[in-house]
Structure formats: C-alpha cells, structure tokens
C-alpha cells in the first residue's frame, strides 16, 4: 500500500511541476535589443560613463535573455563572480591581469575567457588603461562580486 501511495504522490508531483512550468513565462530581459552600431573608439571619459571612486567606467549596452554586453574602461581590484561567466575582448590598452592564479599579459585584440568563480582583475597597465567589451552570462547580479587580496 505504501508503494502505491508513494508512486502516486511522485507521479502527481511530477505532473504538477510539468503543468506549472508549461504555464509560467520565461524570465525576460530588462531591456529590448535594438539594431545599432556602437562606435567603441568614440567612447571615452564621461561619454562612456562617469568614473567610480577608483576611476573605473562601465556602460551597459545590451541586456538580453541570459547575457549582458557592456564596455569597461579602467582598473579593477582582483575579484571573482560566483554566478556569472565573463568574456572580455580587449579594445585598447595593454598590461597584465590576474586570471586564475597567475598574471597574464593582455593587449588589443585578445579575448579573455573568465569562467564563474575564477579570480581576475588586479590590472597592471602599460600606458593607457584597458578598455574592453565585457559579456556576462548569466547577467551579473549586483551582489555577485567578491573582492580578493
């Protein structure tokens, strides 16, 4: 008798879960994507965004289901994101960054892949600060940053 009740309970829970999933709308992005050309070379200083206390600038351009795309310029302390993967395409500037447990050189044209939970940042520039396109998936929550020493 207990096996029949358990089996029926599991089947009913599964069916209820399927029904709820079918009727729930998927999460939608905060913004709508519009067709556009972004001239990244023209985005300097406050045209990019006001600088924070450490001089870092970040401007969000696209927020779509599952990802955000922004342009970042400046130095960030060494940190990690537990829940967001990050891909950076270096537009301008060169130097070294922390990636995992070592410092690696970066220059314009480099693509940096940063899986979630990977320490990164701590930039040491050679001249101009590093300006990069940053793609985060899923979008980084405001509290998903852990500063490291």
* Exposure class string for 16-32: b at 16+ Cβ within 10 A, else e: eeeeeeeeeeeeeeeee
Spatial separation of the C-alpha atoms in residues 40 and 71, rounded to whole Å: 8
Spatial separation of the C-alpha atoms in residues 139 and 67, rounded to whole Å: 5
Spatial separation of the C-alpha atoms in residues 49 and 87, rounded to whole Å: 20
Spatial separation of the C-alpha atoms in residues 59 and 69, rounded to whole Å: 9
pLDDT at 112 over 80: yes
pLDDT at 100 over 60: yes
Residue-level pLDDT at 72 = 93
Q: For domain 40-147, which CATH number applies: 1.10.3720.10, 3.20.20.150, 2.60.120.10, 3.40.640.10? A: 2.60.120.10
Spatial separation of the C-alpha atoms in residues 134 and 145, rounded to whole Å: 15
pLDDT range class, residue 123, cuts 50, 70, 90: confident
pTM (2 d.p.): 0.74
pLDDT range class, residue 6, cuts 50, 70, 90: low
Average pLDDT for 106-126: 94
pLDDT at 120 over 50: yes
* pLDDT tens profile 14-62: 555 555 444 444 443 445 678 888 888 888 888 888 888 878 888 988 8
Spatial separation of the C-alpha atoms in residues 31 and 129, rounded to whole Å: 29
Residue-level pLDDT at 53 = 81
* pLDDT tens profile 50-93: 888 878 888 988 888 889 999 999 988 899 999 999 999 999 99
Residue-level pLDDT at 101 = 92
Two tokens, residue 93: 């500037």
Residue-level pLDDT at 28 = 39
Two tokens, residue 56: 């870092």
Residue-level pLDDT at 88 = 96
Spatial separation of the C-alpha atoms in residues 90 and 132, rounded to whole Å: 4
Spatial separation of the C-alpha atoms in residues 112 and 37, rounded to whole Å: 23
Two tokens, residue 29: 């992005």
């Amino acid at each position: 008798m207990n096996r029949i009740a358990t089996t029926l309970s599991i089947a009913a829970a599964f069916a209820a879960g399927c029904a709820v999933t079918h009727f729930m709308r998927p999460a939608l992005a905060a913004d709508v994507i519009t067709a556009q050309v972004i001239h990244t070379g023209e985005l300097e200083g406050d045209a990019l965004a006001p600088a924070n206390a450490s001089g870092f600038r970040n401007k969000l351009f696209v927020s779509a289901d599952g990802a955000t795309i922004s342009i970042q310029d400046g130095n960030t302390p060494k940190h990690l994101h537990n829940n967001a993967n990050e891909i950076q395409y270096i537009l301008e500037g060169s130097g070294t960054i922390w990636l995992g447990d070592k410092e690696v050189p970066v220059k314009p044209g480099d693509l940096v892949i940063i899986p979630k939970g990977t320490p990164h940042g701590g930039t040491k520039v050679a001249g101009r600060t590093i300006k990069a396109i940053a793609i985060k998936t899923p979008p980084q929550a405001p509290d998903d940053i852990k500063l490291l020493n």
